[in-house]
A and B are shown apart, each in its own frame.
Chain A
């Protein structure tokens, strides 16, 4: 495998590291499997694309982030105020977002970032092929660092405790509903940022880009957790980042070995299913032996 291919894999891995960091909040910290991701990832990309073709690439990233936050808040609203089951709430938001995403792109299912005057992609932080790797490393490090700091503050502690022991938090003067808005909002905001980065990286936004992202992000977390096993926040964040990068590199190797790119959703799904069922299978084996 050439260095160029490896660099490309690492770059995409870094973009998906942001995705895994976002999902880490809902899946691990809040223990609230959130299916909004497939929708909010695409929303982040679509919103960012519209800002970028209008000459505001940095604003595009910020707007994508905020749009994702809004998506998460919709799911939180359905969960807490409308008492809809968490899984269904996520599915409803994700499904509705498909239509919204096409509206955002003014009716088109995809948008290209190539300028019609110069026939070149418009400028973004990721335009320069020589620096894009470092820009992405910077962004991932910044997001992970800010999350680490956040989880050590009073508010971060409340959020973590809500995922750990909701009943205790209910009995301790914290509004659990607000924590769900905060957690899902933040999680989807970061997921959407990942979607926005991918759009600027590929110079292309597509309404279907979110499909399979939930499982992909989760696969990153799970791969990372085989390396970083401690159940601390620092370890969890490192697992999300390095797991996502490693998973992307493994993915690239698999493609080289002759897997079709379209097979990868299945591979990710099987990986996640098997890994999650391992503790149960181990228990069964112990039972059979006894």
Chain B
């Protein structure tokens, strides 16, 4: 599914500030896998995502998605097959557009440019998808999304990410900015959607129990390297306290 081979990312190369963000990282993610990722700040987790999406240039190494080398493909081309959710809910949605317009934006990736964005038949689909969230958002399709709470915005962003199920879904601490209750809801919906759409997903988190509870593989990043790679079976035997010895929180 996704293969990274000997990826090196060095920031400010050749200066005093030189930082090896990713140091010869190789990993193979299998189709349908839901991988959680832990690591301290600056360990390279976000750079890892940025390499996959094309936001961070690599000094060397290859990124292969579904057998195709995408190392030099432009960001907006890759994003046709890669969905991403950020920590800040404001990042994943356009505040001035209504809920239905935001949804239409991601639903109509390949639709005709000059046809109306929000059609009658879409509204029924959007309502059905939003109902799953159980937040009453299906009644608020015409509300500018900037007026919703962070949790609600993130929930819509999640639905947007899976309206056209991407080959690969990247979740970059997507619940870190939310209150505990919304965070839990969003995580559960994420898990449910990843399973029902059979997506391959990578999730960065800072919460060790979440990292163990969700997903079927766990990667731990340290100093730009993947230092631990637990399979589902190994992961199930771990407790949050065990993880403390693998990286600095």
> Contact residues of A with B, CB < 8 Å?
152-158, 160-161, 163-165, 167-176, 231-232
Interface residues in B72-118 by Cβ distance below 8 A to A read 75-77, 79-80, 84, 90-97, 101-102, 104-106, 108-109, 111-118
User: Which chain B residue shows the least CB distance to A178?
Assistant: B76
Write out the residue numbers on chain A whose beta carbons fall within 8 Å of the beta carbon of B90: 165
Interface residues in B217-241 by Cβ distance below 8 A to A read none
Name A174's contact: one of B76, B93, B104, B111 (CB within 8 Å).
Answer: B76
Write out the residue numbers on chain B whose beta carbons fall within 8 Å of the beta carbon of A167: 91
Complex contact A154–B97 (CB within 8 A): no
Given contacts A160-B94, A171-B53, A171-B84, contact A153 B79 (CB under 8 A): no
Complex contact B116–A173 (CB within 8 A): no
CA–CA, A155 to B114, complex, Å? 6
CA–CA, A175 to B75, complex, Å? 9
Complex contact A154–B108 (CB within 8 A): yes
Given contacts A165-B94, A165-B95, contact A172 B105 (CB under 8 A): yes
Q: Show 8 A/B contacts (Cβ-Cβ < 8 Å), sorted by A.
A: A154-B114, A157-B101, A160-B97, A161-B105, A164-B96, A165-B91, A165-B94, A168-B94
Q: What's the count of A-B pairs with C-beta under 8 Å?
A: 74
Query: Cβ of B144 < 8 Å from any Cβ of A?
Result: yes
Complex contact A154–B96 (CB within 8 A): no
Nearest 5 CB-CB pairings of A with B = A164-B94, A155-B113, A161-B94, A173-B79, A173-B80
Complex contact B92–A152 (CB within 8 A): no
> Contact residues of B with A, CB < 8 Å?
53, 75-77, 79-80, 84, 90-97, 101-102, 104-106, 108-109, 111-118, 144
Complex contact A164–B79 (CB within 8 A): no
Complex contact B91–A170 (CB within 8 A): no
CA–CA, A168 to B79, complex, Å? 11
Given contacts A170-B76, A173-B76, A174-B76, contact A154 B94 (CB under 8 A): no
CA–CA, A173 to B78, complex, Å? 7
Write out the residue numbers on chain A whose beta carbons fall within 8 Å of the beta carbon of B105: 154, 157-158, 161, 172
Write out the residue numbers on chain A whose beta carbons fall within 8 Å of the beta carbon of B109: 172-173
Write out the residue numbers on chain A whose beta carbons fall within 8 Å of the beta carbon of B106: 172
- A27 CB to nearest B CB, Å: 14
- A149 CB to nearest B CB, Å: 8
Complex contact B114–A153 (CB within 8 A): yes
Complex contact B75–A157 (CB within 8 A): no
| Residue from B76, B84, B106, B118 having most chain A Cβ neighbours under 10 A | B76
Complex contact A153–B113 (CB within 8 A): yes
Given contacts A153-B117, A157-B105, A161-B105, contact A168 B93 (CB under 8 A): yes
